[in-house]
Amino acid sequence: MKLSDIRCETLCYFFFVSQSYTVFYTELHSLIISNMNQVSREFQVFIKPAGPECNLHCRYCYYLDKADRFPGEIHFRMSDDLLEKYIIQLMEATTGGPVFFAWHGGEPLLAGLGFFRKAVKLQRKHLPSGQTLMNGIQTNGTLLNEDWCAFLAEERFMVGISIDGPEEQHNSFRKDGAGKGTFEKVIKGYELLVKHGIIPEILCVVHAENVGFPLEIYRFFKSLGAKFMTFLPLVVRLPGSPEGVTPDSVPPEAFGRFLMTVFDEWVEQDIGNVKIQIFEEALRTAFNQDHTLCIFKKECGGVPVVEHNGDFYSCDHFVDQVHLLGNIRNNSLTWYLDHPVQKAFGTAKWSTLPDYCLNCEVLAMCNGECPKNRFVRTPSDETGLNYLCAGYKMFFNHTRPFVEAVRQMHL
């Protein structure tokens, strides 16, 4: 399950270090996925206890400027009464499997340890008998200390941490407010987590500066003992240019080559030992299983956002006025999840696919990827093609012989 999809981003893989914990959480992950496939309401809400506030100023961040949506606010914090309301509503909305709390930001640790101690206490107070719960948190890692790590380990939080590679690659965009690279602090946070028995999932943004270093990055993560990795392509549109992107954005073919290079080493050396989300998504097609990562699903709508003030948005990448459905103080989470507008947001992903995608040989693997990236034209001049198409075509075609071999083995 996933933060980034679980977030987009993310169902993720956050597991503890010891073998027994790893087995336990792997089984739990399978249970969640199988339950998610059975339930009538399948979702993963990103809850933002500190809103868009962050202690870092990464150049590519897509969420910092969401502060503009809350004029007059300087510190964004979820109140205690809203926290309790959210916990109750999430439990009511969950129709199968564990209740999953996906804490996101900005930087969620800014809400403070006291806030999270309160949250887990309220979770226990309201959890229906027979129901289970899980917590996942996505952090930039720089605020982690002994107290945080002890708490996260004790409460069995799954942790996602953002690292963009070795020092040079990581520091190219991930900087603090003074413009200083954050690599040392993040690695310290990562090591503290490991010391407390947590192996975090690494979320690596692939951008123009690090896309040329696939093996350096992959081997660096392996040297940290990482078992769970997600590679997220950076695509930032250039204002005023219908098909243009910023120079920081990853070029599609380069992204495809990055994935292919890592895939080849993973198949050769690490399969069964390291989980890489996009590879697992490709492999799901060998078993005709639905995707778990929203960007490759046929429908959107399963990863909405609840902001620190209770505002409900359709998706983490569409936190804007058009996709603001209301506030959970006024209507329940269930009401928003089942709302026709949210459903329409979800089904539009498939219904707006260009014919070029519908006739694509890797459609089942890609499904046109995320609508936020669909802003270029097909060779026959249809609108709505994904900017990353060329890269995905390269990568998914590259994996097809392997996926087919896996399919044959399981026939």
Residues that bind ligand SF4 (CB under 6 A): 8, 294-295, 300, 303, 315, 317, 349, 356-357, 360, 362-363, 366, 368-372, 386, 389, 392-393
What residue spans of 57-130 are helical by DSSP H? Answer: 80-93, 113-126
Instruction: CB nearer to ligand SF4: give 150 or 363.
Output: 363
Task: Give whole-number Cα distances, 37 to 40, 43, 62, 273, 370, in Å.
Answer: 8, 11, 30, 25, 21
Question: Shortest Cβ distance from residue 341 to ligand SF4 (Å)?
Answer: 14
Give the nearest distance from C-beta 124 to ligand SF4 in angstroms.
30
- Which CB atom, from 213 or from 356, has the smaller least distance to ligand SF4? 356
Active centre residues (catalytic): 316
- Do 107 and 75 meet the contact criterion of CB atoms below 8 Å apart? no
d(CA 230, CA 203) in angstroms, rounded, equals 5
DSSP codes joined into one string, 308-343: TT-EEES-TT--SGGGEEEETTTS-HHHHHT-HHHH
Q: Which is nearer to ligand SF4, 60 or 148 (CB)?
A: 60
Nearer to ligand SF4, 102 or 120 (CB): 102
Query: Which residue in 305, 348, 308 sits closest to 325, CA to CA?
Result: 305
CB of 380 to ligand SF4, least distance (A): 12
Rg of the Cα atoms in the chain: 20
Nearest approach, Cβ of residue 301 and ligand SF4 (Å): 6
Beta bridge partner(s), residue 4: 10
Q: Give the closest residue to 131 by CA, choosing from 1, 12, 26, 35.
A: 35
Taking Cα atoms as reference points, which of 209, 302, 293 lies closest to residue 248? Answer: 209
Nearer to ligand SF4, 97 or 302 (CB): 302
Residue 282 or 370 with smaller CB distance to ligand SF4: 370
Q: How far is CA 182 from the centre of its chain?
A: 21
Least CB distance to ligand SF4 at residue 262 (A): 18
Q: State residue 265 phi and psi, 5-degree precision.
A: -70, -35
* Closest separation in Å from C-beta 59 to ligand SF4: 21
Long-range contacts of residues 264-271, Cβ cutoff 8 Å, at least 24 apart = 265/215, 265/218, 266/218, 267/402, 270/222
